[in-house]
Chain A
Amino acid sequence: MTVMVLSGNSAQAHAVRLARVQVVSAYPITPQTSIVEKIADLVATGALKAEYVQVESEHSALQVVVSASGMGARTYTATSSHGLLLMHELVHWASGARDPIVMGVVNRAVGPPWNIGADHTDSMSQRDTGWIQFYAESNQEVIDTVLMAFRLAEHPDVRLPVMVMEDAFYLSHTLEPVDVPDQAVVDGFLPPREAHATLHPGTSARLGSFTGPDRYVDFRFEVAKAMERVPATLRLVEEEYKKATGRSHGGAVPTYRVDDADAVLITMGTSTTTARTVVDDLRAQGKKVGLAKLRLFRPFPNEEIRALGAMVDRIGVADRSYTFGPMGAAGTEVSAALYPSSHHPAVTGFYAGIGGRDVTPHVVRRMYESLLSGAVPEVHWEDIEEEVSVDG
């Protein structure tokens, strides 16, 4: 184990090196570009022995790894924002073909207007494509999650692609110390891919196919069942990762000081770190607040959210994207997950950090105070100053 000062993007690239990825496809887009640049260096110096395919678009970038994965190779690509949106057709394809691809996604706003700031609209718009989705909070979590993602994706019970998200700039370009596991440790944790249902030259077989209404649903059902097996498989993978490296990141929904909380805020990605500090401050003032992080968004961690909902009366959900539903994407999902429970906490949706706005301690404190006051509308735009009413 070596501690290196790395950006989130370098952390992705080092994870790719350690995972001994065999095929990487690359197309630039800010703020993802430095991932594929770093991988190009790793390949050039021989640190990573991979086919590095330079494509003419993100659509082709994903197709290259879809086809390479269909042949049995371990594959990786990375993108952001408009690149991810251009990939959309192939994003569905990858899960339907059961390709265990891992893709780094740097969450960035979608234009117009053009904006390269952090925003989850890009990956949220892909939430129903059959990919497993992780949102990382730190560069340590990035490197560990990418490594775990390969194990999870390739696990015989799963065989689905995984996106590992990092917030634009707050992680992608932020340098911080990262424990980089040794190659031998990773080799022990992540053996070479055991190809299942892939094509082999010299055999008569078709991957993809077409069906009628009589058969199609069976394919969807298989994907659904595989998704349902993700939580249990993730627990297993995390345990093994902990055995190998001593680290784990607390499952699908790690919580912080929620045990006796009157109000809990649910966050995703980097705003979690700031929120944790605010929780400590508020606790010091005697306010009973807690925090939960949606680390896994797909499959949605219903069980964990229901367990949390059974403990508290007020939940706020901070979304870093606007999705035109009753609340933000995470807010809506949390509400839906809680609906069948007997205990119904009040749920408030917050929009915070849209398009790269800072989610400051001030903003987080305001969200907590809204929750504690009980006088909050169903949804609230925290980034819009005019609407600040609680502490002005």
Chain B
Amino acid sequence: MAKLTLPAQELMFSGHSACPGCGAALAMRLLLKGLGPRTVVSVPACCWTVIATPYPTTALGVAMMDNPIEATGASISGIRAALDAMGEKDVTVVGFAGDGGTADIGIQALSGMLERRTNALYVMYDNEAYMNTGVQRSGETPLGAWTTTTPVEGHEHGKIEAKKDMMAIVLAHHPVYAATLNPSFPEDFERKVEKAKAMSGPRFFDIFAPCSTGWRFDAQKTIAIGRLATDTGVFPLYEVENGRYHVTRKVGSLKPVEEYLHAQGRFRHLTPANIAAVGAQVRDGWEKLLTFESESLVAPTPSAAPTAPPATRA
């Protein structure tokens, strides 16, 4: 056998009920590989509630707590507080929430958890819509995308607003570590997981999670679409540690954004002008990111550098 480039342990079981080819399922599998068995995961209402299968079965080889959709940030604060009170050490506490449960209805609890410096890793698995309820728009749905509540009919042409920049919002809370991850790049993914695991304090992951059901592509394309997202600049891979940005996948020249958009049914209706607008936005984001990186090499960005990081708390 060739040497495995990822940890061999499997803490997400087969037999779960994600759609075939689900990016969110692969995200969980890769995440737990790196985090190991002493992990407690809090999961709000989202696809993963269902993926984990009905009582009395569970799809995770670790402890899993359900929580209401908007309360993941608070839930992981509670779990950490209990572990601290009971003297349980070396446990990684994880909130694993969808984009809707994070960026929309759960943003208050997330902000609270980051601000009170809970020693936990908050993961937003980003499938860019409310998938469990059947593909409705969220704050993370990108510009132009079709969803059932941003229809392409009559004078409507998909979502008219841009995606909410969750990384920027999170970074304004000065987490010890924040990173974007993409299962299409599993080695980069695993390196970030291991890095985050070794830290203590509030940490945040934005994990790209292609959803063939909601994005309208054939299931076998999940990985290819993820790769395109990063290589077109739509979903750049980077990390921010103590205010320093680091782009972890340097793309010399970005692929045309069309390649990514044309691969998915949710963007099928976009006109060349629409595509040009998306392309401009993507390029702008990418260039800003490169600027942040080069500037923060000189001096960590002020917004991301608290003067004296407070001690970690529950």
- A207 to B65, Cβ gap below 8 A? yes
A212 CB-CB contact with B under 8 Å: yes
CB neighbours of A50 from chain B (8 A): 85
A54 CB-CB contact with B under 8 Å: yes
- A66 to B78, Cβ gap below 8 A? yes
A154, B61: Cα distance in complex, Å: 28
Instruction: Provide the main secondary structure of the chain B interface.
Output: mixed
A212 touching B54 in the complex, CB below 8 Å, given contacts A60-B112, A201-B91: yes
Task: From B58, B75, B91, give the contact of A205 (CB < 8 A).
Answer: B58
B62 CB-CB contact with A under 8 Å: yes
- A73 to B76, Cβ gap below 8 A? no
A184, B38: Cα distance in complex, Å: 36
Scoring B40, B61, B74 by chain A CB atoms within 10 A of each residue's CB, the highest score goes to: B74
As a 0/1 sequence over residues 77 to 99 of chain A, the CB contacts with chain B under 8 angstroms (1 = contact) are 00000000000011001000000
B138 CB-CB contact with A under 8 Å: no
- B40 to A71, Cβ gap below 8 A? yes
Scoring B37, B61, B71, B82 by chain A CB atoms within 10 A of each residue's CB, the highest score goes to: B82
A70 CB-CB contact with B under 8 Å: yes
As a 0/1 sequence over residues 169 to 204 of chain A, the CB contacts with chain B under 8 angstroms (1 = contact) are 000000000000000000000000000000111111
B108 CB to closest chain A CB (Å) equals 6
CB neighbours of A215 from chain B (8 A): 54-55
A210 touching B71 in the complex, CB below 8 Å, given contacts A53-B314, A201-B38, A204-B62: no
Of chain A, the residue at the smallest CB distance from B90 is A201
CB neighbours of A68 from chain B (8 A): 78-79, 81-82, 85
B70 CB-CB contact with A under 8 Å: yes
- A93 to B63, Cβ gap below 8 A? no
B52 CB-CB contact with A under 8 Å: yes
A39 CB-CB contact with B under 8 Å: no
Task: From A22, A23, A70, give the contact of B65 (CB < 8 A).
Answer: A70
A55 CB-CB contact with B under 8 Å: yes
Of chain A, the residue at the smallest CB distance from B78 is A67
Of chain A, the residue at the smallest CB distance from B60 is A204
B313 CB to closest chain A CB (Å) equals 8
A342 CB-CB contact with B under 8 Å: no
Task: From B61, B77, B82, give the contact of A72 (CB < 8 A).
Answer: B82
Chain B interface size range: 35 or more
A200 touching B54 in the complex, CB below 8 Å, given contacts A67-B42, A90-B68: no
A373 CB-CB contact with B under 8 Å: no
B282 CB-CB contact with A under 8 Å: no
Chain A interface size range: 35 or more
Of chain B, the residue at the smallest CB distance from A25 is B78
CB neighbours of A55 from chain B (8 A): 74, 77, 112, 116
Of chain B, the residue at the smallest CB distance from A61 is B74
- B50 to A56, Cβ gap below 8 A? no
A208 CB-CB contact with B under 8 Å: yes
B66 CB-CB contact with A under 8 Å: yes
CB neighbours of B52 from chain A (8 A): 206, 209
A203 touching B63 in the complex, CB below 8 Å, given contacts A53-B78, A64-B77: yes
Which B residues, 100 to 153, have Cβ-Cβ distances below 8 Å to chain A?
Answer: 108-109, 111-112, 115-116
B201 CB-CB contact with A under 8 Å: no
A205, B85: Cα distance in complex, Å: 21
B85 CB to closest chain A CB (Å) equals 4
CB neighbours of A70 from chain B (8 A): 65, 78-79, 82
B301 CB to closest chain A CB (Å) equals 25
Of chain B, the residue at the smallest CB distance from A97 is B66
The 5 closest A-B pairs by CB, nearest first: A208-B66, A67-B78, A60-B74, A56-B112, A71-B82
Inter-chain pairs besides A56-B112, A205-B64, 12 sampled, C-beta below 8 Å: A22-B85, A25-B81, A55-B112, A56-B108, A57-B108, A68-B82, A69-B78, A69-B82, A71-B78, A89-B68, A201-B38, A201-B39
Residues of B within 8 A of A (CB): 37-40, 42, 49-50, 52, 54-56, 58, 60-68, 70-71, 73-79, 81-86, 88, 91, 108-109, 111-112, 115-116, 314
Q: Can you give 11 contacting A-B residue pairs, CB < 8 Å?
A: A22-B82, A51-B81, A56-B108, A67-B42, A67-B76, A68-B78, A69-B78, A71-B86, A73-B82, A93-B68, A206-B55
